[in-house]
């Protein structure tokens, strides 16, 4: 018989063990080893069978066993101590609470993301973006930052990967029952499931219930459209992550953005939590949240569209995560019109205004990143290099400004140490960091990885159809003493999964070197619709299947957080060879580094700013070479050369007790110098200080006095809009102060006259700009000075000559208003 429907029944715990339920549902256990050890102590074998998932464990353990534990005083004392520790963690003041009155900090921050990778026990992510969001929530919890995460709950998560016999990726979509996951339904005062609704075309309504995962102190709200009230097609809106066509995707994004704001409002109301003032849009997908907040102000507060826009921008932070054009969401304009046209979904938000917010070069497309940037007063990329690349890439939104003035900053990603560092590593005290202690620990972690590799290779072959009898060789795959290199990530083209196969003979030689062999572990999922990515995986698998090398190179299917952990712990070297500068940040190398893994990487993303010559190796990039084939050849050759001539010799250079002391000095340097900088806590603190706190102040400023600030700002912008085209600089002059020929540092006076076309002097800032001048007349390395207005349109500033050689100057007029975050914000400038 087949079951009609499947559902999960939670264990009912004996009263004395009730706290175990709370410890199992608060996901702090995922980064708190003592809580994990407590669950392991319930039943060590069942804990393993349950894949270290407390809820699965409690379902699996027989009631009689639980009754026995409920009478075991020693065990009960341990439960109490662990529960007390959790309570203390949840309630005691932390970093955010002890920042005093030095800054007004937002009471709540809404953090919106399409995916969240908190734990493998809640598989709601596809890769780096989601895992980063999970790490962000955990670090916010550790710091006491009052975040509320908002996203969708996918019934099948992303997908599970396996391989066919000939190495082709196969996808599986196991159906997850939310009741078996560490989630609680958000309910209303009467105890009924709380729901949010959004309108969809055809006079229909999309309903969603709200699940809450508790990530330490931070609630994560996940919307789920799989409810009886929905038509069948609408039930499927949250079926899979990144799984459908454009129509499916826009529905998901409408639910995440518009429905997400409604969910967070409802949740705060039901729980007495202060409503968020600051909203963080983690990548463009969730960008519709800004439109819903405009609607709230238009229909609820009687604001005009422009006033509401000014108001919501003040409290919005947008983070862009990719410089790869294919990574940016673009919808056909028709589709956006289909959903946002008319007055049902967002009354008071005219479709022309919506379309203008997402406009891009191609008039037929609606660009979610452009909308994200236009709806947020503050924006950033995710490494220094990515910030720079983004300023160039999105510069057209701020025409007339040099790339370095484009108001997109950067916060380099970090990773959550307690999630990604091996427990033995975090227990180590700095003074214990002797070479031999560290080396022993590294060898222990490599050994664990080798065990995991053998288990997974065997399981994969069984799955591919091999019989157990022919798999004896898998017991000796990999060697715990061999230099282990890891490469695991999603498989978009720019990450170049197969660069290592550029010269297969050369790779074979490295793997099979008689004294200094290398072993290579590879993993990664390709997007289900990306056959070229699957072909890359197949190439690796076919190579790794060869009898001559299969003990030294493996492809492990189904890369996820649980596999990743062993890779980051156990690999000696973490390899990354993206096409620079397309890796926005990259975080897997950071996780390896927290465990003493050394990076061998193209200087892209985070590695561009962290590589210092003593913490790993930089693969030279040939990013100026236009022919991609030749570029791959050059970079692959450099990679082989580094591995053969530097990495392997260093690893195998041992002292009399077998310790590679020179290697260990790089490991120690990596751990002590880089470790603290790579932490997600550093990242979240930066977000608080440079984004959330200023956004909170701006949001407060525009709301004050029934949105007086927003109204003034809207009037101001309208005034600028209508006068700007006829503002002009009518006269300029530069005179060198002093009698002699100009020398560097000498003061000069710049004078100008400006016709403000009816604007007042306080509406603008007039700047003198001096810098190097190229033959083309372009200025670079400029210094600027604000010019002081005199009578009747005259302006003057004195500044020092900044450079020797050919120097030029100009004068420019910029909008000025105290509620603008930067003078470039409106993307308007008049040049002399």
Measured CA to CA, the distance from residue 324 to residue 354 in angstroms comes to 24
Measured CA to CA, the distance from residue 379 to residue 822 in angstroms comes to 12
How far is the CA of 470 from the CAs of 160, 458, 460, 462, 556, in angstroms? Answer: 25, 10, 13, 10, 19
* Shortest Cβ 677–ligand PLP spacing (Å): 16
* Shortest Cβ 215–ligand PLP spacing (Å): 16
* Shortest Cβ 566–ligand PLP spacing (Å): 11
Structure-token pair, residue 374: 């236009």
User: For residues 206 and 579, which CB has a smaller minimum distance to ligand PLP in the complex?
Assistant: 579
* Shortest Cβ 409–ligand PLP spacing (Å): 20
* Shortest Cβ 672–ligand PLP spacing (Å): 22
User: For residues 545 and 560, which CB has a smaller minimum distance to ligand PLP in the complex?
Assistant: 560
* Shortest Cβ 496–ligand PLP spacing (Å): 12
HSE-up of residue 453 (Cα within 13 Å, Cβ side): 32
* Shortest Cβ 312–ligand PLP spacing (Å): 31
User: For residues 128 and 696, which CB has a smaller minimum distance to ligand PLP in the complex?
Assistant: 128
User: For residues 414 and 823, which CB has a smaller minimum distance to ligand PLP in the complex?
Assistant: 414
User: For residues 408 and 567, which CB has a smaller minimum distance to ligand PLP in the complex?
Assistant: 567
User: For residues 131 and 308, which CB has a smaller minimum distance to ligand PLP in the complex?
Assistant: 131
* Shortest Cβ 585–ligand PLP spacing (Å): 7
User: For residues 372 and 586, which CB has a smaller minimum distance to ligand PLP in the complex?
Assistant: 586
* Shortest Cβ 507–ligand PLP spacing (Å): 21
Measured CA to CA, the distance from residue 430 to residue 712 in angstroms comes to 56
Measured CA to CA, the distance from residue 693 to residue 646 in angstroms comes to 46
Measured CA to CA, the distance from residue 110 to residue 221 in angstroms comes to 10
* Shortest Cβ 564–ligand PLP spacing (Å): 4
* Shortest Cβ 128–ligand PLP spacing (Å): 3
Measured CA to CA, the distance from residue 120 to residue 125 in angstroms comes to 9
* Shortest Cβ 830–ligand PLP spacing (Å): 42
Contact 826, 720 (CB under 8 A): yes
Contact 262, 275 (CB under 8 A): no
Query: CA triplet 155, 160, 165: central angle to 5 degrees?
Result: 150
User: For residues 564 and 713, which CB has a smaller minimum distance to ligand PLP in the complex?
Assistant: 564
Contacts for 354-358 with beta carbons within 8 Å, 24 or more apart? 354/291, 357/291, 358/331
User: For residues 156 and 322, which CB has a smaller minimum distance to ligand PLP in the complex?
Assistant: 322
The three-class DSSP label of residue 211 is strand
Measured CA to CA, the distance from residue 210 to residue 152 in angstroms comes to 9
User: For residues 134 and 290, which CB has a smaller minimum distance to ligand PLP in the complex?
Assistant: 134
User: For residues 131 and 183, which CB has a smaller minimum distance to ligand PLP in the complex?
Assistant: 131
Measured CA to CA, the distance from residue 382 to residue 583 in angstroms comes to 10
* Shortest Cβ 131–ligand PLP spacing (Å): 4
CB-based contacts of 396: which residues, under 8 Å, 6+ apart?
361
Measured CA to CA, the distance from residue 395 to residue 377 in angstroms comes to 15
How far is the CA of 360 from the CAs of 338, 402, 403, in angstroms? Answer: 19, 19, 18
User: For residues 108 and 588, which CB has a smaller minimum distance to ligand PLP in the complex?
Assistant: 588
**Shortest CA distance to 58 belongs to which of 107, 22, 34?**
22
Q: Whole-angstrom distance between the N-terminal and C-terminal Cα of the chain?
A: 82
Measured CA to CA, the distance from residue 482 to residue 453 in angstroms comes to 14
* Shortest Cβ 599–ligand PLP spacing (Å): 10
How far, in whole angstroms, is CA 353 from its chain's centroid? Answer: 29
757: left (phi over 0), alpha (psi -120 to 50) or beta: left
Query: CA triplet 569, 577, 622: central angle to 5 degrees?
Result: 150
User: For residues 123 and 259, which CB has a smaller minimum distance to ligand PLP in the complex?
Assistant: 123
Cis peptide before 474 (omega within 30 of 0): no
Looking only at the bridges linking them, the beta strands covering 764-773 and 807-815 are: antiparallel
* Shortest Cβ 586–ligand PLP spacing (Å): 4
* Shortest Cβ 461–ligand PLP spacing (Å): 23
User: For residues 490 and 552, which CB has a smaller minimum distance to ligand PLP in the complex?
Assistant: 490
Q: Which residue has the tokens 């603290």?
A: 676
User: For residues 131 and 520, which CB has a smaller minimum distance to ligand PLP in the complex?
Assistant: 131
User: For residues 32 and 496, which CB has a smaller minimum distance to ligand PLP in the complex?
Assistant: 496
Measured CA to CA, the distance from residue 196 to residue 633 in angstroms comes to 54
**Shortest CA distance to 694 belongs to which of 140, 282, 106, 283?**
106
Q: Which residues bind ligand PLP (CB under 6 A)?
A: 127-128, 131, 489, 560-561, 564, 586-588, 591
* Shortest Cβ 163–ligand PLP spacing (Å): 18
The DSSP output letter for 77 is H
How far is the CA of 169 from the CAs of 161, 328, 461, 536, in angstroms? Answer: 7, 25, 13, 10
Measured CA to CA, the distance from residue 474 to residue 175 in angstroms comes to 31
Q: What is the 3-state secondary structure (H, E, C) of 258-282?
A: HHHHHHHHHHHHHHCCCCCCEEEEE
User: For residues 131 and 453, which CB has a smaller minimum distance to ligand PLP in the complex?
Assistant: 131
User: For residues 125 and 288, which CB has a smaller minimum distance to ligand PLP in the complex?
Assistant: 125
Query: CA triplet 734, 740, 746: central angle to 5 degrees?
Result: 55
Q: Which residues face 807 on adjacent strands? A: 772
* Shortest Cβ 587–ligand PLP spacing (Å): 4
How far is the CA of 32 from the CAs of 48, 419, 422, in angstroms? Answer: 17, 8, 12
């Amino acid at each position: 018989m087949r079951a009609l429907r499947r559902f999960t029944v939670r264990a009912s715990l004996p009263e004395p063990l009730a706290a175990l339920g709370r410890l199992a549902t608060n996901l702090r256990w995922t980064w708190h080893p003592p809580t994990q050890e407590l669950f392991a102590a319930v039943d060590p074998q069942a804990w393993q069978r349950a894949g270290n998932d407390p809820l699965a464990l409690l379902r699996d353990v027989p009631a009689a066993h639980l009754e026995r534990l409920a009478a075991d005083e020693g065990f009960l004392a341990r439960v109490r101590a662990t529960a007390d520790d959790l309570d203390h963690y949840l309630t005691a003041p932390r970093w955010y609470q002890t920042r005093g009155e030095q800054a007004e900090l937002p009471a709540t921050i809404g953090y919106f993301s399409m995916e969240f990778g908190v734990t493998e026990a809640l598989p709601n992510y596809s890769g780096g973006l989601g895992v980063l969001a999970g790490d962000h929530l955990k670090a916010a919890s550790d710091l006491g930052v009052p975040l509320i995460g908002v996203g969708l709950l996918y019934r099948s998560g992303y997908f599970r990967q396996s391989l066919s016999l000939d190495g082709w990726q196969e996808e599986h979509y196991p159906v997850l029952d939310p009741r078996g996951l560490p989630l609680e339904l958000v309910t209303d005062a009467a105890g009924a499931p709380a729901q949010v609704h959004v309108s969809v075309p055809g006079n229909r309504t999309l309903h969603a219930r709200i699940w809450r995962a508790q990530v330490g102190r931070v609630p994560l709200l996940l919307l789920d459209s799989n409810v009886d009230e929905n038509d069948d097609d609408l039930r499927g809106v949250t079926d899979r992550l990144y799984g459908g066509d454009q129509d499916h995707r826009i529905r998901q994004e409408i639910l995440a953005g518009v429905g997400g704001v409604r969910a967070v409002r409802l949740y705060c109301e039901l729980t007495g939590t202060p409503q968020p003032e600051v909203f963080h849009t983690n990548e463009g997908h969730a960008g519709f949240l800004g439109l819903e907040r405009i609607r709230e102000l238009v229909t609820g507060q009687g604001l005009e569209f422009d006033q509401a826009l000014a108001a919501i921008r003040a409290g919005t932070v947008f983070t862009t995560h990719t410089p790869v054009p294919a990574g940016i969401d673009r919808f056909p304009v028709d589709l956006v019109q289909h959903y946002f046209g008319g007055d049902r979904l967002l009354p008071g938000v005219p479709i022309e205004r919506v379309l203008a917010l997402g406009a891009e070069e191609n008039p037929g497309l609606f660009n979610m990143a452009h909308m994200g940037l236009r709806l947020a007063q503050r924006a950033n990329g995710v490494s220094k290099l990515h910030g720079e690349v983004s300023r160039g890439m999105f510069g057209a939104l701020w025409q007339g400004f040099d790339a370095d003035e484009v108001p997109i900053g950067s916060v380099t990603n970090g990773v959550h140490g307690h999630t990604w560092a091996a427990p033995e590593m975090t227990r180590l005290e700095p003074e214990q960091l002797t070479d031999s202690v560290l080396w022993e620990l590294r060898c222990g972690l490599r050994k664990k990885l080798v065990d995991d590799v053998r288990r997974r290779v065997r399981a994969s072959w069984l799955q591919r159809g091999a019989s157990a009898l022919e798999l004896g060789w898998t017991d000796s795959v990999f060697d715990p003493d061999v230099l282990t290199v890891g490469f695991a990530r999603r498989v978009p083209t720019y990450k170049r999964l197969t660069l290592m196969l550029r010269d297969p003979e050369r790779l074979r030689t490295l793997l099979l070197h008689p004294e200094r062999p290398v072993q290579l572990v590879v993993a990664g999922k390709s997007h289900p619709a990306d056959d070229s990515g699957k072909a890359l995986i197949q190439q690796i698998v076919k190579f790794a299947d060869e009898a001559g090398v299969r003990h030294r190179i493996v492809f492990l299917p189904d890369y996820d957080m649980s596999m990743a952990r062993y890779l980051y712990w156990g690999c000696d070297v973490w390899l990354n060879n993206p096409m620079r500068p397309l890796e926005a940040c990259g975080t897997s190398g950071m996780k390896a580094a927290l465990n003493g893994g050394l990076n061998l990487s193209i200087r892209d993303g985070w590695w561009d700013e962290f590589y210092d010559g003593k913490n790993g190796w930089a693969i030279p990039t040939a990013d100026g070479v236009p022919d991609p084939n030749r570029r791959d050849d050059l970079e692959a050759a450099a990679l082989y050369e580094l591995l053969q001539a530097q990495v392997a010799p260093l690893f195998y250079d041992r002292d009399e007790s077998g310790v590679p002391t020179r290697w260990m000095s790089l490991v120690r340097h990596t751990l002590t110098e880089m470790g603290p900088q790579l932490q997600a806590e550093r990242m979240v603190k930066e977000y608080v200080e440079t984004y959330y706190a200023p956004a909170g102040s701006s949001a407060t400023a525009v709301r004050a006095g029934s949105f007086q600030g927003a109204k003034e700002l809207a009037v101001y912008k309208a005034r600028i809009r209508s006068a700007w085209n006829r503002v002009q600089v009518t006269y300029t002059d530069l005179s060198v102060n002093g009698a002699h020929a100009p020398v560097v540092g000498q003061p000069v006076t710049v004078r100008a006259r400006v016709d403000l076309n009816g604007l007042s002097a306080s509406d603008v800032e007039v700047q003198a700009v001096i810098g190097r001048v190229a033959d083309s007349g372009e200025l670079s390395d400029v210094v600027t000075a604000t010019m002081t207005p005199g009578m009747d349109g005259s302006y003057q500033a004195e500044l020092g000559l900044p450079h020797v050689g050919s120097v030029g100057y100009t004068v420019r007029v910029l909008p000025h208003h105290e509620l603008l975050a930067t003078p470039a914000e409106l993307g308007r400038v008049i040049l002399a």
